[in-house]
């Protein structure tokens, strides 16, 4: 039966009619499209996440501000900042004085970074969890999901951040001390080499730390396995890791360029600097997991949030495959479920939706456990007979209905 064409008023209210192919063309088909789709459709949520993370970053910002004020204070106390009576400062020959000021300021302030990192772990664990759900195209309530992420991932984020803070301090102190020795004229070639290696190790530690955050919110791993896998990924994908790490923290890079870029970078950082960095890095690492990890993890789902825009070309073949294998899969009788089926009232709250989702997850788990028990021989179950559908007589509506029922089961 032909579909009745919408009237003018209906088209103005509901918008123009869109074909299925047009709808598929608007969905993200790769990681770049997915990242942009998440950003533009969740901009308000990303600003909210960024504000929450900035709140827990305040101790770190205070430490950096104290370091800056200490450098200014030590500079004012040095002889080269005094006037000699004609309006020009005296600049005596004190080799290494600038490097000594930075070394002293670093030792007196940056030593508290691990404490600030412990506080920042609260914001990072919540932000990473929300961003992972966004990249997976799952529904997100910023406040609820943020604290859910804190409960689930704080320990692994705290341990990762503490380890990174210690390694960061070691690298910064070694670089500052090497610069001071070199500036006083006592440096050697091996000291210069050690400085270069310190910068390389600092970049390596940063990439490993970022991978630890992504692994921690995606998989259940012991800390030793978390560190090992992160180090492997950091070494195996050096060029892309460096590119996406720089891309993720583009707002900080803008502030370091100076001039007008400081204002632009600062505004962008306050609005979505941290949440945007997590979005870029999470989206990138999910691609690496799909490519190198998920095939080895039982039950892992690849390409979450990405749609196959060419599915209509092979639509009939895909559906016939599902029908042919439906009867070979053991099905748990509905009377054997020990899960309460939640019914949503006409007026419902977020708590009702949460209970419904928990009920659905419990039913899926019970069904999967039943299938695994049958396949492993723990339960003897006679599977359904093979279903045969006459392809010539099955119209499009019947195919859609059979597919939906398969997905529901």
Whether residue 200 is found in the same domain as residue 323: no
Tokens of 281: 């890095």
Whether residue 134 is found in the same domain as residue 180: yes
CB 132 within 8 A of CB 282: yes
Asked whether residue 153 carries a pLDDT value surpassing 90, the answer given is yes
Asked whether residue 391 carries a pLDDT value surpassing 50, the answer given is no
Whether residue 94 is found in the same domain as residue 56: yes
Whether residue 292 is found in the same domain as residue 361: no
Whether residue 34 is found in the same domain as residue 182: yes
**What pLDDT, on a 0 to 100 scale, did the predictor assign at position 384?**
38
Whether residue 119 is found in the same domain as residue 198: yes
Whether residue 103 is found in the same domain as residue 139: yes
**What pLDDT, on a 0 to 100 scale, did the predictor assign at position 309?**
64
Tens of pLDDT, residue by residue over 340-390, are 667 777 777 777 777 778 877 787 777 777 777 766 666 665 443 443 434
Task: Judge whether 390 lies within some domain.
Answer: yes
Task: Judge whether 16 lies within some domain.
Answer: no
Question: Which of the 8 DSSP states describes residue 110?
Answer: G
pTM over 0.85: no
CB 292 within 8 A of CB 302: no
Compute the distance between CA of residue 66 and CA of residue 74 in angstroms, rounded to an integer: 12
Q: Which residue has the higher pLDDT, 315 or 231?
A: 231
**What pLDDT, on a 0 to 100 scale, did the predictor assign at position 386?**
41
Task: Judge whether 128 lies within some domain.
Answer: yes
The 3-class secondary structure across 183-238, one letter per residue, is HCCCCCHHHHHHHHHHHHHHHHHHHHHHHHHHHHHHCCCCHHHHHHHHHHHHHHCH
Q: What is the mean pLDDT of residues 217-228?
A: 92
Domain that holds residue 390: 313-408
At residue 398 the predicted structure's pLDDT band, cuts being 50, 70 and 90, is very low
**What pLDDT, on a 0 to 100 scale, did the predictor assign at position 299?**
79
Compute the distance between CA of residue 205 and CA of residue 193 in angstroms, rounded to an integer: 18
Task: Judge whether 305 lies within some domain.
Answer: no
| Cα maximum dimension of the chain | 102
Task: Judge whether 199 lies within some domain.
Answer: yes
**What pLDDT, on a 0 to 100 scale, did the predictor assign at position 407?**
33
Whether residue 152 is found in the same domain as residue 274: yes
Tens of pLDDT, residue by residue over 186-205, are 767 888 888 899 999 999 99
Q: What is the mean pLDDT of residues 46-55?
A: 94
Whether residue 286 is found in the same domain as residue 252: yes
Compute the distance between CA of residue 118 and CA of residue 128 in angstroms, rounded to an integer: 15
Task: Judge whether 2 lies within some domain.
Answer: no
Whether residue 63 is found in the same domain as residue 191: yes
Whether residue 186 is found in the same domain as residue 274: yes
Tally of structural domains, the chain? 2
Task: Judge whether 203 lies within some domain.
Answer: yes
Cβ neighbours of residue 268 closer than 8 Å, sequence gap 6 or more:
251, 254, 276
Whether residue 182 is found in the same domain as residue 321: no
CA dist list (Å): 134 to 37, 41, 309, 369? 10, 10, 20, 28
Task: Judge whether 307 lies within some domain.
Answer: no
């Amino acid at each position: 039966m032909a579909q009745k064409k919408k009237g003018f008023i209906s088209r103005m209210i509901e918008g123009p009619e869109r074909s299925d192919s047009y709808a598929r063309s608007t969905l993200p088909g790769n990681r770049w499209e997915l990242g942009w789709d998440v950003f533009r459709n969740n901009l308000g949520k990303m600003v909210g996440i960024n504000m929450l993370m900035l709140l827990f970053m305040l101790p770190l910002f205070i430490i950096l501000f104290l370091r800056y004020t200490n450098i200014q204070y030590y500079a004012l106390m040095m002889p080269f900042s005094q006037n000699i009576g004609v309006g020009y400062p005296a600049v005596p020959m004190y080799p290494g004085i600038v490097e000594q000021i930075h070394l002293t300021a670093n030792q007196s302030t940056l030593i508290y970074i691990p404490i600030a990192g412990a506080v920042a772990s609260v914001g990072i664990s919540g932000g990473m969890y929300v961003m992972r759900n966004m990249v997976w195209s799952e529904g997100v309530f910023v406040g609820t999901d943020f604290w859910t992420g804190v409960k689930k991932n704080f320990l692994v984020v705290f341990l990762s951040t503490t380890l990174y803070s210690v390694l960061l301090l070691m690298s910064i102190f070694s670089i500052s001390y090497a610069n001071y020795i070199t500036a006083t004229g006592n440096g050697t070639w091996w000291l210069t080499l050690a400085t270069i290696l310190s910068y390389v190790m600092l970049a390596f530690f940063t990439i490993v730390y970022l991978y630890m955050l992504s692994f921690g919110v995606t998989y259940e791993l012991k800390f030793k396995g978390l560190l090992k896998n992160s180090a492997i990924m950091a070494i195996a994908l050096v060029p892309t890791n460096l590119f996406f790490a720089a891309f993720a923290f583009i707002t900080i890079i803008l502030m370091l360029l100076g001039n007008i870029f400081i204002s632009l970078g600062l505004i962008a950082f306050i609005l979505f600097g941290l949440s945007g960095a997590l979005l870029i890095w999470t989206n990138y690492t999910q691609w690496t997991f799909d490519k190198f990890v998920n095939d080895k993890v039982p039950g892992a789902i690849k390409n979450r949030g990405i749609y196959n825009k060419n599915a209509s070309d092979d639509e009939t073949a895909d559906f016939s495959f599902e029908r042919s294998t439906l009867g070979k899969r053991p099905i748990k009788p509905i009377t054997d479920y020990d899960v309460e089926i939640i019914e949503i009232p006409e007026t419902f709250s977020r708590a009702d939706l949460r209970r419904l989702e928990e009920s659905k997850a419990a039913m899926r788990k019970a069904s999967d456990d039943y299938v695994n028990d049958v396949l492993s021989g723990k339960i003897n179950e006679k599977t359904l007979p093979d279903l045969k559908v006459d392809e010539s007589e099955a119209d499009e509506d019947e195919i859609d209905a059979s597919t939906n029922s398969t997905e529901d089961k």
